[in-house]
Each structure stands twice: as C-alpha cells, then as structure tokens.
C-alpha cells in the first residue's frame, strides 16, 4: 500500500468514523465529526492537499500540517497545504496524523477559530484516537497539555459509552483547563496562536482553504 493510501485508509477507518464532539467557538459550538476528516481525505485524493514524508522536522515531531509554504534549512520549499507525516502505521503515528488532519480541515473549511481552541481540539482528537484504539496512557498522556486533553477526551468517551444521542459536548471545565494548559505551555505561550494570543486576543492560524 502506498504511503498516501495508508493515510486515506486511516481517515476512512472505523475509529475516525466514531469520533464526534462539539466545543465552544466564537459564535456557537463547533462540530467535529467523521465528515470533517472526509473533507481532508477528498482534498488528498484530488491533489489539493499533498502528503509528504518530512526531512527536517524537529526531534519528537511526528507530523506537521503546513497551511503556508515553508523553506527547509537546505533552501528547498515545502508548499502550502502539505501534510508532512513520518508514518501512518502505528496507533500513535495515526493519532498524530488525525491531529494534523484536523488542522488541515480547519484550513480547508476556513473555520473561524482562535489558535488556542484549535490546538486544544486537535489534542482532544489525539487523545480520543489513542484511547479508542487501546493505546496505553503512559505512551501518550505526558505533561500538562496531554494530561488535560486526556481528561477532556474522557468526558466524551463517557457519553459515547452511554449512547448519548447526537454529537456530545466536551466537558466545559475540562475544556477550559486544556485551553489554559496551552496558554501556559512554554512552546505555545508567547510564540504561537495556541498560547495566550489565541486565548486572549483570538489570534488564528491561517485558514485560507
């Protein structure tokens, strides 16, 4: 199976088909559902979104979505609308692909969403995928951000198990704690929209389709 096909198989797979939740946005609740990821899969199949193996991502970075073009250290360019993915084989790798695919979906759909909420919702997807595929918590829920994402995901898993009708809403206290965790995170705090600028000022990542 080709690498791109592995990514598409995951996005069309049974676990992604079960992921659905809502969280507070700037003008009402934002919904994440299987259709969200089908938008990304369709864009990959059409060639609008490229899937590439990265050559220069930082240590510990398993995947990245480029909403704008970026220049590598060697001077070559990774074009905009590219998913850079090391692997789509293991469960943790697939969870990271799902995370970056949600970033991609927000870009394609031009979702009006601050960067802090965007990172928070993407991390909830990571946590949900890991939990729903049986990946042990010690392998992924490290640190304040992932620990908070795990607790937020748990509020959804409880509703899944109860058979809650419709699309459940993430626990609001857990959602707020996760957003604060990003605002305080040393990487996101001042440099990226996922930090204070997203939480307080509503700063967004690029969402230009």
Contact, 132 vs 15, CB < 8 A?
yes
Whether 83 is in a domain gets the answer: no
What tokens does 71 get? 């220049």
Whether 69 is in a domain gets the answer: no
> Torsion angle, CA of 90/81/152/171, rounded to 10 degrees?
-150
Alpha carbons 59 and 99: distance in angstroms, whole number = 18
Domain holding 97, by residue range, is: 8-45+91-201
pLDDT in tens, 138-194: 555 667 888 999 999 999 999 999 988 889 999 999 999 999 999 998 888 777 798
pLDDT at site 142: 64
Q: Average pLDDT of 32-55?
A: 95
Stated pTM of the model: 0.94
Alpha carbons 123 and 109: distance in angstroms, whole number = 19
Give the residues across from 78 on adjacent strands. Answer: 70
Whether 172 is in a domain gets the answer: yes
pLDDT at site 42: 98
Whether 50 is in a domain gets the answer: no
- pLDDT for 102 beyond 80: yes
- State how many domains the chain has: 1
pLDDT in tens, 23-34: 999 889 999 999
Whether 57 is in a domain gets the answer: no
Instruction: Compute the C-alpha angle 103/106/111, nearest 5°.
Output: 150
Whether 168 is in a domain gets the answer: yes
Whether 206 is in a domain gets the answer: no
Alpha carbons 180 and 116: distance in angstroms, whole number = 9
> Torsion angle, CA of 44/93/106/125, rounded to 10 degrees?
140
């Amino acid at each position: 199976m080709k690498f791109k096909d592995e990514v598409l198989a995951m996005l069309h797979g049974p676990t992604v088909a079960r992921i659905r939740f809502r969280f507070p946005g700037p003008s009402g609740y934002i919904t994440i559902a299987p259709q969200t990821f089908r938008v990304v899969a369709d864009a990959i199949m059409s060639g609008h979104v490229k899937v590439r193996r990265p050559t220069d991502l930082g240590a510990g970075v398993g995947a990245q979505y480029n909403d704008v073009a970026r220049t590598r250290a060697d001077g070559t360019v990774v074009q905009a609308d590219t998913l850079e993915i090391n692997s789509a084989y293991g469960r943790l790798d697939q969870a990271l692909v799902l995370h970056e695919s949600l970033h991609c979906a927000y870009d394609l759909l031009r979702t009006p969403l601050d960067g802090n909420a965007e990172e928070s919702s993407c991390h909830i997807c990571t946590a949900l995928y890991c939990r729903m595929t049986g990946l042990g918590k010690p392998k992924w829920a490290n640190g304040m951000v992932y620990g908070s994402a795990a607790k937020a995901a748990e509020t959804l898993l409880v509703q899944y198990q109860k058979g809650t009708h419709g699309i459940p809403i993430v626990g609001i206290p857990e959602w707020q704690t996760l957003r604060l965790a990003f605002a305080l995170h040393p990487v996101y705090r001042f440099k990226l929209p996922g930090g204070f600028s997203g939480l307080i000022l509503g700063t967004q990542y690029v969402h230009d389709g």
